[in-house]
Amino acid sequence: MHLSTEGLPDWRIEKSAITSQSQGHDVLFAGSKSPFKYDRNTFSKVYEINWTAKARYGLPYYWSLVQKQLSKIIKEARPEIVHAHNIFSAKMMLDFDLPFVYDDHEYWSKHSRLLLEMEKLNEIKTEKANISKILINMPKRIKRSLINRHVNHLWTKWEEELVSSIPTITVSNEIANDLRVIGNSDKIFVVPNFPMKFETDGFKSPQPHKSLSSVYAGSDGHNKKKYPSRNIDGLLDIFTSQDIGELTIVGWSGELFKNVKYTGFLDRRDMYNEMANHSIGLVPFKKHWSHGYINPNKAYEYAHAGLYVMCTNSFAPLRVILKEHCVTFEDYDDMVSKLSYFKHNLNELYDKRLKLFDYARSNLIWEQNAKKILDAYRAC
């Protein structure tokens, strides 16, 4: 059974489930109710759990409410093993006498540090506001500050407890190396978030384009919180003011600008088809300390769609995995310079796209690492 605080669809969870199915296992899911329609038949049964923010903060009463829901599901489903996605589900499973693995999508001690950083950035913005707004917002700021400090301590403690005692799956070698030290454990398994083979098998070799166009895939337009690790401030202005081709944004809709268009949300097949119309896939977040651990799956989707990948040079996992098959930039001025170069050297860009496409088909496939999920199960 796959257990998550989030709902479906969640492609990493589903890929893990498909891996289990390939071994003849019946696969169930338990998680939050999703606002999105889910009509795939990956799971033989889907259970709903009402997770709340207060439960994720570890408050005993709210924690016990989730615990009771999960206990009822476990009694009915009787899973042989639980694949717990992210720290809250995994911590909850410590309360049950069942074998389970912890799938760490986020690296939670670093994520909680990020929340503290966001709080400080909000304080700076508040200082620039007028005195009446400062006074009105002060109770909320104090409450948020206390919560962030609480979860920073709590999630770090939970993480150490889990990785020291439970087989752990994570998304990059950089995170895995840290977790091995934190937990003094060799039961850490790396499964990067590559596409599955069946998703990309029918893709044709990239075609040359007559002009330069770039794509950025993400859900930033839906996010109420603005994470400093995902800062793209000024990106749209660059494409409207510089002669560096067009930008297509996949994943949300927004205000139309010169040289910028939006596709809105696309399913995975339509997403790949749209990407194939462009030459460069951007991972354009401004430099941030957390990029040393983040391994964005969009880069590998770009590669399979026949795009050349361009990312900020702070993304260590991407640089290691893609090797010479990506170009990095220091800042947006550097990005503009490199986009301008490729705009005038489309044949060279096409050659790089072909090489990355071939590299992706041979190396950036989920199934190459899927055995490690089964190894983690056996390590329970």
Secondary-structure percent of the chain, ordered helix, strand, coil, rounded to 5:
50, 15, 35
What's the pLDDT score for residue 130?
Answer: 59
What's the pLDDT score for residue 129?
Answer: 55
Please report how the helices 346-363 and 332-343 are oriented relative to each other, as an axis angle in degrees rounded to 10.
110
CB 28 within 8 A of CB 57: no
Reported for 88-93, long-range contacts at CB under 8 A and 24+ positions apart, including other chains, are 88/5, 88/51, 88/55, 88/56, 89/3, 89/4, 89/5, 90/158, 90/162, 90/166, 91/158, 91/161, 91/162, 92/3, 92/63, 92/66, 92/67, 93/3
Give the separation between CA 331 and CA 312, rounded to whole angstroms: 7
pLDDT averaged per 10 residues in sequence order, the chain, 380 residues? 96 96 95 87 96 93 98 98 97 97 90 75 56 60 66 89 98 95 96 95 94 92 77 95 96 88 92 97 96 94 98 96 97 98 98 98 97 97
| Domains contained in the chain, CATH given | 2-113+120-194+368-378 (3.40.50.2000), 197-363 (3.40.50.2000)
For 260-274, the pLDDT digits (tens) are: 999 998 989 999 999
CB 228 within 8 A of CB 114: yes
> pTM of the full predicted structure?
0.89
What's the pLDDT score for residue 226?
Answer: 80
What's the pLDDT score for residue 121?
Answer: 66
- HEC string of 125-178? HHHCCCHHHHHHHHHHHHHHHHHHHHHHHHHHHHHHHHHCCCCEEECCHHHHHH
* Per-residue b or e along 272-293, where b marks 16 or more CB atoms closer than 10 Å to that residue's CB: bebbbebbbbbbbbbebebbeb
Among residues 138, 108, 105, the alpha carbon closest in space to that of 123 is found at 138
What's the pLDDT score for residue 139?
Answer: 65
Write out the H or E segment, with its range, that includes residue 191.
none
Among residues 117, 89, 119, the alpha carbon closest in space to that of 105 is found at 89
Q: If DSSP codes are grouped into helix, strand and coil, which group holds residue 5?
A: coil
Give the separation between CA 312 and CA 316, rounded to whole angstroms: 9
